[in-house]
Amino acid sequence: MKISARNFLEGTIKEVHKGATTAHVEIEIKGGIVTASITNESVDELGLAKGKKAHAIIKSSDVMVAVE
Amino acid sequence: MKISARNFLEGTIKEVHKGATTAHVEIEIKGGIVTASITNESVDELGLAKGKKAHAIIKSSDVMVAVE
Amino acid sequence: MKISARNFLEGTIKEVHKGATTAHVEIEIKGGIVTASITNESVDELGLAKGKKAHAIIKSSDVMVAVE
Amino acid sequence: MKISARNFLEGTIKEVHKGATTAHVEIEIKGGIVTASITNESVDELGLAKGKKAHAIIKSSDVMVAVE
Amino acid sequence: MKISARNFLEGTIKEVHKGATTAHVEIEIKGGIVTASITNESVDELGLAKGKKAHAIIKSSDVMVAVE
Amino acid sequence: MKISARNFLEGTIKEVHKGATTAHVEIEIKGGIVTASITNESVDELGLAKGKKAHAIIKSSDVMVAVE
């Protein structure tokens, strides 16, 4: 499957923290840590767990730019 | 200013492509290229140009996770 | 690739309208038309054109609910 | 009220799952199931419950396109 | 129509700037100016023009918080 | 830090409601109340609490327009 989102950041899952409905998944990429907020169902269906290879995927319209 | 977005990816602007209202800004971070889609006005006000230090900022609720 | 987004709507591309940087892609699904706003680069890389099979993918945190 | 979001998918609520602050609402539309992640307060104020007619509303900038 | 988005900011349209596919709409609310980036089609269908009463609508998952 | 998001709404925090992973933060601005849905970690790191000065920050691509 190819998807229109422009940002694919390769990494390894560092931590998964499940809440009541929403989970926070920390992915360690080269540049640091990326945190995703996704549904608990997706965590289960994708088998997300510490040490698993994963990509952080982000649509370009959701990326902001900041400068000092 | 401290902001609630969880993802700050440090990099350098590689390219700025302005359209009629929307600009694409490519930021080279350690892990690869992040593309942001922002307004032309923000490009001008932040003085975004090739070679400038910049951060890509992403809210965690906008990050998806993918696995093979 | 499996992705954490919860919404996969199967359909056929009805129309692609490219602007200066942003394209509108209309996908005909069973329930009607879904319009996506994506980058021109993604239109080209995915070879999006009228008649092509495609899925509309939406993160659940981007879906609102409305009632009369 | 008319709203600028381009995507209105008509359906019937199949399930509402409330967490501590965030609820998942599944809406059965013609093409399948759409899952929305909204606040518990909105579930209560809109009286969302199984069997109720509802629309899934999505801004076009939040829709991605995928192809095989 | 009642919608699950939590943020309704009442105002008057100050300016509409249409690009090739994407328009920027400035809405003057009590607290200042809110800028929306929407499709040109929505500008036409909603008849958006300077001086018209309008609401800025924002899902709570799209709002960030910043402090000094 | 200057950020590309176009919308900065100045206000005071009225209420913080933490869930299992996601918190709702109500900010009183001149025009009314803006609700943000952010991570519990951000609430703690930014020290968000009732009475604190804060800005609601919103990317223009996340703002919709509605008319009667």
Mean pLDDT by 10-residue block, N- to C-terminus, for chain B (68 residues)? 97 98 97 95 98 98 98
Is F2 in CB contact (< 8 Å) with chain E?
no
Collect all residues of chain D within an 8 Å Cβ-Cβ radius of residue A23: none
Give the C-alpha separation, A18 to A25, whole Å: 8
pLDDT computed for residue E31 by the predictor: 80
Instruction: Tell me what the mean pLDDT of segment D49-56 comes to.
Output: 98
Contact D57 E3 (CB under 8 A): yes
pLDDT grade, residue D66 (50/70/90)?
A: very high
CATH number assigned to the domain covering E7-60: 2.40.50.100
Give the pLDDT confidence of D2-48 residue by residue, as tens digits. Answer: 999 999 999 999 999 999 999 999 999 998 999 999 999 999 999 99
Give the C-alpha separation, A64 to E9, whole Å: 23
- Chain F stretch 23-42, residues whose beta carbon is closer than 8 A to a beta carbon of chain A: 39, 41
Is E67 in CB contact (< 8 Å) with chain B?
yes
- DSSP symbol at F34: E
Of the CATH numbers 2.40.50.100, 3.40.1190.20, 3.40.190.10, 3.10.400.10, which one belongs to the domain with range F7-53? Answer: 2.40.50.100
Contact E64 B1 (CB under 8 A): no
pLDDT grade, residue A39 (50/70/90)?
A: very high
Is D60 in CB contact (< 8 Å) with chain A?
no
Is C50 in CB contact (< 8 Å) with chain D?
no
pLDDT computed for residue E56 by the predictor: 98
pLDDT computed for residue B52 by the predictor: 98
Give the C-alpha separation, B39 to F7, whole Å: 12
Collect all residues of chain A within an 8 Å Cβ-Cβ radius of residue C60: 39
pLDDT computed for residue D31 by the predictor: 81
Give the C-alpha separation, D28 to F6, whole Å: 35
Does the pLDDT of residue A23 top 90, yes or no? Answer: yes
pLDDT computed for residue B50 by the predictor: 98
Could you give phi then psi for residue C53, rounded to 5 degrees?
Answer: -70, 135
Of the CATH numbers 3.40.50.2000, 3.40.640.10, 3.40.50.800, 2.40.50.100, which one belongs to the domain with range B7-59? Answer: 2.40.50.100
CATH fold of A7-56, please? OB fold (Dihydrolipoamide Acetyltransferase, E2P) (2.40.50)
The pLDDT > 70 percentage for chain C reads 100
Give the C-alpha separation, A21 to D45, whole Å: 19
Collect all residues of chain B within an 8 Å Cβ-Cβ radius of residue E67: 1-2
Q: Write down the residue that tokens 């199931």 correspond to.
A: D33
Give the pLDDT confidence of E18-67 residue by residue, as tens digits. Answer: 999 999 999 999 989 999 999 999 999 999 999 999 999 999 999 999 99
Does the pLDDT of residue F31 top 90, yes or no? Answer: no
- DSSP symbol at B51: T
How is residue A8 written in tokens? 């694919």
Question: In this structure, are residues E1 and C66 in contact, taking their beta carbons and an 8 Å threshold?
Answer: yes
- Given CA atoms B33, A1, C30, C41 in this order, what sign does their dihedral have? positive
